[in-house]
Chain A
Amino acid sequence: MKKYSWFLLTAGLLFWTVGCKEPVIDEPIPTFYAPATTDPEGGNWRPILFQSVADVCVSQPEPVTSDAYKTELIDVQNGAFALNVEQIDAVNYWAAGGVLRWNQIARQLIAKYNVTPGYNDATGQTVPFDPNKPIVGFPAAARILALLSVAQYDALVAAWHAKYLYNRPSLARQGVTPRLPVADLPSYPSEDAAVAEVSCQVLALLFPDETNWLIARAGEHKQSRIWGGANVPSDIKAGDEIAHSIAQRVITYVQNDGIQTLPDVNNAWEELRRSASYDVKWVSLAIPARPPILPQFGTGNMWFSQSDDFRKAPAPPATTSPAFQSALAEVRTIADNRSRDEWRIANLWADGVGTYTPAGHWNLITEDLIRQDRQNELRAARTLALLNRALQDGALASWFTKYQYFVPRPSQLDPTIKAATEIPNYPSYVSEIATMSGTASTVLGYLFPSQAARINEMAAEAAVSQLYGGTQYRFDSVEGIKIGQNIGQAAVNWAKADGAK
């Protein structure tokens, strides 16, 4: 008996020891990389919100021979010896890439604000909208990422333009050993400061309650470049200057893009539904029924074309048609016999409430591609600006189409169909997930040709995912991919002519 007690005591102690340690999540740690190219002609790339970035004024820097500059340089050199742990962590964190870090921050905010509108059980009304706490649904998320990426890209084109105009040599060329891999670029103005400040201002505009937090992040980002021995304070200040001009332009754009992201408090959508042409019309399957998400979103400005053909998918088969009946039967069959792999696919691509949405998901995928290609800040911003403008157009097109037809979800017509995800509270046709997959894969296939096969595989899987989930029909995906690819192609045409090689 003694040996058992020995065993039990030892085992118990062992379990206790491991037990007291909470499990830790190992997120993949981004590897630092020196960018593959410096793109000295980047200042001539085509900006998005400007005719020419020469209009963005950046003051002439003090020459490197000036006393003011020499003092700055010595301070940076000396400061590098006295960094504390937090400062070193900050240097390493932002060294993973300012464009990508701010893209991550935007995804995090989108997930945080991607909530179901509150509902007051007593009055039967949705909780009044608070403009400081926007509810970021699916299409609004695509717009946020687009605005952020456009601002970053324009700011970086302007920064590159000024860098090669003034040619202040990098600190590494002046005997400072940076703590991180740094591109061999002229250091004035700081591209990191431009990205930090413009990202902070755009996101603060969209998420007013986060302003203080964003300002703190941006401050840390800028300081990290001084701590890391990559910039002097005057480089940072010039980056700020650029960011202010660009942010003003973005604010003007946001106010005039005709996109309605406020809730439809007067229930204007009911009139849209009355005038829709489809034979059986969508009703909310939520209990109690709720108004659909952002019914007027789809009529706003698109980035690549304003034509109606661009945003409207062809009419879906009527519910009485054999084509529709077999599509509905297919959803039912899959729902009744859903395999584990179909579950996985439905889960992976649903990106519903509480997530960064499908637009954020494609940004995550793109982040990985950018790292593999070791793109510099400017190139990374260009990639994301192309992708996210196209994704916003894809979201707009699918949204426009949804509220032209008001096609019901499968479970509305056959309540025995049970879903693998919550049923999104808006009409089914055309699939927004398929549309954005078609868009993203077309843009990314062009920018990362060696990865095109893998990207297309992911897009095809995403497109049918919600058929597997039981919330959409196959024709939702098929037509979604088509309009998505069309939009993606328009973005590719833009990319072919923007001056980048």
Chain B
Amino acid sequence: MKRILYVGLLLLISSIARAQMPSDAIYMPRKSVCIAGIYSRSSWNQYWEGTLKRENLNIGTHTTQSVMLMPAIGITDRFNVILSLPYVWTETSAGNLMGQKGMQDLSGWLKYKLFDHKGFSVNGLAGASIPVSNYVPDFLPMSIGLQARTVTGRLLLNYTHPGTGLYVTTHGSYNWRSNIRIDRDGYQAHDRLYNTDEVSVPNAIDAGIRLGVLRKTWQTEVWAERFACTSGDNIRRNDMPFPTNKMEATSVGWYGKFQPRNIGVNARIGYVTSGLNVGQSTSYSVGLLYQLNF
């Protein structure tokens, strides 16, 4: 279930990127900064325990909320830096598991337009994240994150019709995730016992496609995304999730932005249509955007 949270956050991060995010081909102009403040909420009452879809009365509905600050900085017209730092909290509607809260992981992206011709662009992105607080990583599904440091390489293609603003964007990425340390001396994973506190968090790939319209002051799109670990094990029957689990999720949703002047708003909704070792979450987020020019 924790993984659910993580996926939720991943989706969240991607969505936020709409106001020039790691998942779009929009760039802040040189010497300008757009700061987004975003509130997100994601909840589920069913999850996949391995391939088995189930509910859990000892959890009821699991909810993850976060507020996040996300500046996008225009270094040049085709090179942006994007940072984000979320504060996350979790709770359940039933059972006795303590909700968790705290600053999660600071992430940063370098985004560079490699090629641009007649509305078609090829964009390369490199991202990394590090945990900024000592939250508990293996108290799933309540933990706010997995404590893994991550590095991501992403290729993003976009075609925008110059006249109408109709666009299609697609991306694919590889996420390398570091090993983590838990509070325990040993644990069970991959059908064996590890006598160490070090845990391998599986690497992951993610991909997305978006169709929409981008105009000067507004934007609307529908999207579909896929997140999948490249290895990992399933949640054991009736057991809690663990950071080694192979999480997969396919989600669909909508994103919109309206920014007539320096100040704007954005919103996003998402829904997980299928998955493995994740919760079937419904999520939404709303954000306030503020652009500064220097």
Contact = CB atoms under 8 A, between A and B. Distances in A.
B225 interface: no
A9 B195 CA distance: 40
Contacts of A118: 237-238
Interface in A152-208: none
B195 A8 contact: no
B57 interface: yes
B188 A354 contact: yes
Given A12-B126, A286-B58, A361-B185, A340 B239 contact: no
A27 interface: yes
A285 B193 contact: no
B151 A15 contact: yes
B51 interface: no
Given A18-B176, A419-B97, A8 B188 contact: no
B53 interface: no
Interface in A7-33: 8-9, 11-12, 15-16, 18-20, 22-28
B263 interface: no
A9 B124 contact: yes
A4 B200 contact: no
Contacts of A283: none
B230 interface: yes
Contact of B194 (A1, A16, A27, A344): A27
A420 interface: yes
Interface stretch (A108-116, A262-270, A385-393): A108-116
A24 B200 contact: yes
Q: Which of B155, B191, B238 has the most CB of A within 10 A?
A: B238
Interface in B104-160: 110, 112, 114, 124, 126, 134, 136, 138-139, 151-153, 155
B25 to A, nearest CB: 15
Contacts of A340: 134, 136
Nearest to A11: B126
B273 interface: no
Q: Which 4 A-B pairs have the closest CB atoms?
A: A418-B98, A347-B183, A15-B153, A287-B57
12 contacts: A15-B153, A15-B174, A26-B196, A27-B194, A107-B186, A115-B238, A118-B238, A343-B183, A347-B136, A364-B185, A418-B96, A418-B97
Interface of A: 1, 4-5, 8-9, 11-12, 15-16, 18-20, 22-28, 104, 107-108, 111-112, 115-119, 285-288, 335, 338, 340, 343-344, 347-348, 353-356, 361, 364-365, 411, 415, 417-420, 422-423, 470
A356 B194 CA distance: 11
B231 A22 contact: yes
Contacts of A354: 188, 236, 239-240
Given A23-B178, A287-B58, A288-B57, A347 B193 contact: no
B292 to A, nearest CB: 23
A22 B124 CA distance: 23
Given A112-B188, A340-B134, A23 B97 contact: no
A23 B179 contact: yes
Given A25-B194, A26-B198, A27-B196, A8 B110 contact: yes
Q: Which of B76, B184, B193, B201 has the most CB of A within 10 A?
A: B193
B163 interface: no
Contacts of B191: 112
B175 interface: yes
Contacts, number: 148
A216 to B, nearest CB: 15
Contacts of B29: none
Contacts of B98: 335, 338, 418-420, 470
Contacts of A117: 238
Given A355-B188, A418-B99, A23 B201 contact: yes
Contacts of B169: none
Nearest to B153: A15
B112 to A, nearest CB: 5
A104 B151 CA distance: 35
Interface string B3-25: 00000000000000000000000
B177 interface: yes
A12 B124 contact: yes
Contacts of B236: 115, 354
Contacts of B177: 23
A92 B185 CA distance: 24
B227 interface: no
Interface string B180-224: 001111111001111110111111000000000000000000000
Given A25-B199, A115-B236, A19 B94 contact: no
B220 to A, nearest CB: 30
Contacts of B230: 22
Given A335-B98, A354-B240, A355-B187, A104 B76 contact: no
Given A4-B79, A18-B151, 17 more contacts: A1-B78, A19-B151, A23-B178, A23-B200, A23-B203, A25-B199, A108-B192, A116-B239, A118-B238, A335-B98, A338-B98, A343-B183, A353-B240, A354-B236, A354-B239, A364-B195, A418-B98
Contacts of B199: 25
A24 B139 CA distance: 22
A9 B99 CA distance: 42
B196 A12 contact: no
A8 B81 CA distance: 12
A446 to B, nearest CB: 23
Nearest to B232: A22
A104 B183 CA distance: 20
B260 interface: no
Contacts of A347: 136, 138-139, 182-184
Contacts of A111: 188, 193
A22 B139 CA distance: 23
B186 A411 contact: no
Given A22-B230, A347-B184, A355-B188, A16 B153 contact: yes
A470 B96 CA distance: 10
A111 B155 CA distance: 42
B114 A5 contact: yes
A102 B188 CA distance: 17
B112 A5 contact: yes
Q: Which of B138, B176, B199 has the most CB of A within 10 A?
A: B176
B193 A107 contact: yes
Contacts of A423: 96
A2 to B, nearest CB: 11
B183 A348 contact: yes
Q: Which of A4, A19, A108 has the most CB of B within 10 A?
A: A19
Contacts of B239: 115-116, 353-354
Given A12-B153, A18-B151, A24-B200, A348 B184 contact: yes
Contact of B126 (A15, A25, A26): A15
Contact of B139 (A25, A287, A420, A470): A420
A108 B139 CA distance: 21
Contacts of A361: 185-186
A19 B176 contact: yes
B279 to A, nearest CB: 18
A27 B153 contact: no
